[in-house]
Amino acid sequence: MTRELLWLTLTVIMTGLLWLPYIIDRIMVRGVQGAMANPSRRDKPQSPWAERLYFAHTNAVENLIVFAPLVLILDSMNYTTGATVTACAAYFWARLAHAVVYTMGIPVLRTVAFTVGFLAQAVLALAIFGWA
């Protein structure tokens, strides 16, 4: 497994686990039956941090749709450099930071973390064309 694929795997696992804390909050707020019921406008609202984590998770999934193919394309090209490994590691840590600071409600750091992740994706896209 290449280091890029390792970072992709870690990112997929992290993204796949981000829902757990906000579902636990949903159970705590609405009870097990309420958490398993169909969504309704009358539902008791979740804790503010859980609502933010929900949005961070959604954003992580949306960005994984871009990150994963870039890594897989580079892997299919058998292309790996220090820049691509660094970009993949930076993406993972940026997405983790994004989830944490978004959940904590820190807007400026959230934007910085998102931007770092975007720039990491840009490096991967440029690498596909041999520009990085």
pLDDT at 132: 77
Query: pTM of whole model > 0.85?
Result: yes
CB-count burial class (<10 Å; 0-12, 13-18, 19+) for 8: buried
Average pLDDT over residues 109-120: 98
Distance of alpha carbon 16 from alpha carbon 34, whole angstroms: 23
Report the pLDDT averaged over residues 88-117: 98
- CB-based contacts of 14, cutoff 8 Å, min separation 6: 60, 92, 95, 96, 99
Q: Which of 118, 116, 124 is nearest to 75 (CA)?
A: 124
Architecture of the 3-128 domain: Up-down Bundle (1.20)
DSSP 87-117: HHHHHHHHHHHHHHHHHHT-HHHHHHHHHHH
Q: 3-class DSSP state for residue 35?
A: helix
Using CA atoms, how far residue 109 sits from 1, 95, 106, in Å, is 32, 12, 6
- Torsion over CA: 118, 124, 129, 132 (sign): positive
- Read off the pLDDT band of 73 (50, 70, 90): very high
- Positive or negative, the CA dihedral 107, 111, 116, 117 is positive
Average pLDDT over residues 33-53: 95
